């Protein structure tokens, strides 16, 4: 509206200047007796020239204002986000004094998060993520068989053992985006595992040390999964993603490996030995340049009958441990190519029930907690290099787990 009033004022001034020009012209055709002196004529001529120059300047300003008004009207017709022209006469490409519209978080910000929290695969595209995983677990056990006479004086046998297990897996993870909010996944690991155990037996007659080494190589438990993005995160809402997973028992389980007559394992299991169903959801909150995340999952392992004699004991029905877990953390984008994440993961493992002969044996529940850290570097528009680390902070957790992966979208 200010531009319109300004244009009208310029037009009124142009009318006044035109009237003055006409008045001065009338003076020039008056009779000779009424004409002013030569000096007066020169003064009037100079004034006319000055007025003409000023009139041209006003016409130029009016044209600039008309151009600005035209651009403003065009911008208003283009959409509500347009605003008034800048001092140069050009309309800014983004609102002035107003926060720009929220943009989708770059995929690499979420790539550094733990497995299962990465951004969904676009519709009609595949995401292939080959990875190399390494897990190191160490456990110490001390068993006393005998009688305690007084504290510090024991009569019997003490057995101390240290178990050191290393697992290396190459994993092929393939995902396909059915829609922009739904993807399916298949995950197949090929695993090499070795187990080194050192057993120290201390008795009255003396002590003895025995070292055992077993290993195994083969396919692990194949998994199928699906994830669905519930909402789009509009109006500053977090993004909710529901997930489900089915794990097969394709890997050699603890009741399937070869053992001696005494029940001592001759190889290392490569899988859990049970099929499992997992369900849960995750939450992502975009707060540029960071992403806050959290998830809750429940894993139910399907019971089955073993009906196999191991070490002279018949193993019947086994109800394996189920677990409930949660994660919490944040991912941070350092620049458009590099991001990292920090978080904590905790799982509560319920007791397992095993039928041994005519008795039922129950294990104790476990608390498995680990600190997580991830890094992601973009190698190209459709490829990145990821590194994820887990460091156990509870006695039942693995000491360390390292995963290197190269997600590729095509």
Tokens of 292: 């806050």
CA separation, residue 119 to residues 36, 94, 127, 156, 390 (Å): 89, 28, 11, 59, 21
Tell whether the model's pLDDT for residue 292 goes beyond 60: yes
How many alpha carbons fall within 13 Å on the CB side of residue 90? Answer: 4
CB 389 within 8 A of CB 372: yes
Q: What is the pLDDT of residues 201-253, one digit of tens each?
A: 655 566 667 778 889 999 999 999 999 999 888 888 898 999 999 999 999 99
Q: At what angle do helices 38-78 and 2-28 cross, to 10 degrees?
A: 160
Say if residue 238 is exposed, middle or buried (CB neighbours under 10 Å; 0-12, 13-18, 19+).
middle
Which band of pLDDT confidence, cut at 50, 70 and 90, is reported for residue 101? very low
The share of the chain scoring above pLDDT 70, in percent, equals: 71
Which band of pLDDT confidence, cut at 50, 70 and 90, is reported for residue 88? very low
107-409 CATH fold: Porin (2.40.160)
Instruction: For residues 106 and 336, give the distance between their C-alpha atoms in angstroms, rounded to a whole number.
Output: 8
Domain ranges in the chain are: 2-78, 107-409
Instruction: For residues 76 and 78, give the distance between their C-alpha atoms in angstroms, rounded to a whole number.
Output: 5
């Amino acid at each position: 509206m200010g531009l319109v009033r300004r244009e009208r004022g310029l037009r009124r001034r142009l009318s006044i200047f035109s009237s003055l020009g006409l008045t001065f012209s009338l003076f020039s055709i008056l009779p000779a007796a009424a004409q002013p002196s030569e000096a007066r004529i020169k003064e009037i001529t100079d004034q006319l020239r000055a007025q003409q120059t000023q009139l041209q300047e006003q016409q130029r300003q009016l044209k600039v204002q008309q151009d600005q008004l035209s651009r403003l009207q065009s911008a208003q017709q283009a959409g509500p986000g347009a605003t008034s022209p800048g001092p140069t006469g050009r309309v800014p490409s983004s609102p002035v004094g107003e926060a720009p519209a929220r943009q989708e978080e770059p995929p690499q910000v979420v790539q550094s998060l733990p497995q299962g929290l990465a951004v969904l695969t676009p519709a009609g595209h595949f995401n292939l993520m080959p990875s190399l995983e390494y897990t190191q677990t160490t456990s110490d056990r001390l068993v006393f068989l005998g009688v305690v006479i007084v504290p510090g004086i024991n009569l019997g046998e003490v057995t101390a053992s240290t178990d050191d297990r290393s697992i290396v897996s190459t994993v092929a993870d393939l995902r396909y985006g059915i829609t922009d909010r739904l993807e399916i996944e298949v995950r197949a690991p090929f695993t090499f595992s070795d187990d080194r155990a050192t057993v120290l037996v201390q008795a009255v007659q003396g002590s003895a040390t025995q070292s055992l080494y077993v290993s195994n190589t083969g396919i692990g438990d194949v998994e199928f999964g699906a994830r669905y993005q519930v909402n789009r995160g509009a109006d500053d809402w977090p993004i909710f993603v529901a997930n489900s997973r089915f794990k097969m028992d394709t890997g050699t389980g603890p009741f399937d490996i070869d053992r001696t007559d005494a029940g001592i394992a001759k190889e290392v299991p490569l899988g859990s030995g049970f099929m499992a169903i997992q369900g849960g959801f995750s939450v992502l909150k975009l707060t540029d340049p960071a992403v806050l995340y959290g998830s809750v999952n429940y894993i139910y392992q399907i019971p089955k009958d073993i009906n196999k004699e191991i070490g002279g004991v018949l193993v019947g029905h086994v109800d394996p441990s189920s677990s409930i877990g949660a994660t919490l953390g944040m991912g941070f984008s350092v620049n458009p190519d590099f991001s990292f994440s920090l978080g904590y993961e905790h799982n509560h493992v319920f007791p397992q029930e095993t039928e041994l002969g005519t008795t039922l044996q129950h294990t104790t529940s476990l608390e498995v907690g680990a600190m997580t850290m991830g890094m992601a570097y973009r190698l190209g528009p459709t490829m990145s290099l990821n590194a994820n680390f887990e460091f156990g902070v509870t006695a039942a957790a693995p000491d360390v787990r390292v995963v290197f992966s190269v997600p590729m979208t095509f």
